[in-house]
Amino acid sequence: MKILLPPSETKRPGGDGAPLDVSSLALPGLAGSRDAVIDALVSLSRDEDAARSALKLSAKQAHEVAHNRTLRTAATMPAVDRYTGVLYDALDAATLSPASRRWLGSHVWIHSAPFGPVGALDEIPTYRLAAGTSLPGMAPLRRHWAASTTAAIAGEEPPFVLDLRSEAYVALGPVPASVPSAYVRVVTEHGRALNHFNKKSKGLLVRTLAEERPRIRSLRTLKTWAQARGIVLREAAEDGVQELVVAE
> Could you list the residue range(s) of the whole structural domain that residue 224 is in?
2-245
Chain centroid, CA 194 distance in Å: 19
User: What's this model's pTM, rounded to 2 decimal places?
Assistant: 0.96
**CA separation for the pair 52, 123 (Å, rounded):** 26
Long-range Cβ contact pairs of 140-143 (< 8 A, separation 24 or more): 141/37, 141/113, 141/172, 142/171, 142/172
- Can you list the alpha helix ranges (DSSP code H) found in 84-165? 86-91, 98-107, 141-156
Residue 244: CB partners within 8 Å, gap ≥ 6? 184, 185, 186, 187, 201, 202, 205, 231, 232, 233
DSSP state of 47: S
In this predicted structure, what is the pLDDT of residue 194? 65
- Can you list the alpha helix ranges (DSSP code H) found in 124-229? 141-156, 167-170, 196-212, 219-228
In this predicted structure, what is the pLDDT of residue 117? 98
In this predicted structure, what is the pLDDT of residue 247? 80
In the chain, the number of structural domains is 1
Per-residue pLDDT of the chain in tens (248 residues, 90 and over written 9): 999 999 999 999 999 999 999 999 999 999 999 999 999 999 999 999 999 999 999 988 989 999 999 999 999 999 999 999 999 999 999 999 999 999 999 999 999 999 999 999 999 999 999 999 999 999 999 999 999 999 999 999 999 999 999 999 999 999 999 999 999 999 988 767 766 689 999 999 999 999 999 999 999 999 999 999 999 999 998 999 999 999 86
